[in-house]
Chain A
Amino acid sequence: EAGVAQSPRYKIIEKRQSVAFWCNPISGHATLYWYQQILGQGPKLLIQFQNNGVVDDSQLPKDRFSAERLKGVDSTLKIQPAKLEDSAVYLCASSPPGREVGTGELFFGEGSRLTVL
């Protein structure tokens, strides 16, 4: 079974530029998450989608971050304009339907590492 795919793996930009990350979840997984992991910290949830609807975006800095999940499959996360403090690894994860009944495991991609200069 193919895992969660993310691209690009690495991106270096200057502050005030924009960047976009792409995620393809595991086939059939209804729920998709974007997490931000700053060096030395645990992952922090940015946004959670259920199919193509937003379940939780309370921690998303909406003045500069946006995310969409058209057609309930792939998702993109955009940052515009980027700040120095956005340097982090952006992790995408997915989970199957009925997560509250199962073990609740999230399946993570390898992440997209962003460096803002």
Chain B
Amino acid sequence: GEDVEQSLFLSVREGDSSVINCTYTDSSSTYLYWYKQEPGAGLQLLTYIFSNMDMKQDQRLTVLLNKKDKHLSLRIADTQTGDSAIYFCAESPLGGKLIFGQGTELSVKP
């Protein structure tokens, strides 16, 4: 089946690293995604990783993929108050649609 699970909340202090975790079920997903949603806004693609990669780094963002355990994580280095948002993990089973997790609300305290 298709299911994506995330923890619901994460609170960090400004300047610390944030790690948001996700588990997924569909091993056919070619890409896995992290989307960011700010209050009252739609979803914006933050980063993605190809399924044959273990890690992808993009400035302050590091994505780790453990395909064997179907575990995906997003690390945000030097977290800022502007990073406060809801972060969604998504898998992409065959057919083009994305299946989203329930979202992790990141709260960054000054």
Interface residues, chain A, with chain B CB atoms under 8 Å away? 4, 31, 33, 40-45, 48, 50, 55-56, 91, 93, 95, 99-100, 103-106, 108-111
Contact = CB atoms under 8 A, between A and B. Distances in A.
A33 B97 contact: yes
B98 A106 contact: yes
Interface residues of chain B: helix, strand, loop or mixed (majority): loop
B100 interface: yes
13 contacts: A4-B42, A33-B97, A41-B102, A43-B88, A44-B100, A45-B98, A48-B95, A48-B96, A56-B95, A91-B43, A106-B43, A110-B40, A111-B41
Which interface class (under 10, 10 to 19, 20 to 34, 35 or more) fits B? 20 to 34
B51 to A, nearest CB: 11
Residue with the highest number of chain B CB atoms closer than 10 Å, among A44, A55, A105, A109? A105
A108 B43 contact: yes
Contacts of A4: 42
A7 B110 CA distance: 36
B33 interface: yes
A109 B92 CA distance: 19
Given A42-B4, A110-B41, A110-B42, A103 B100 contact: no
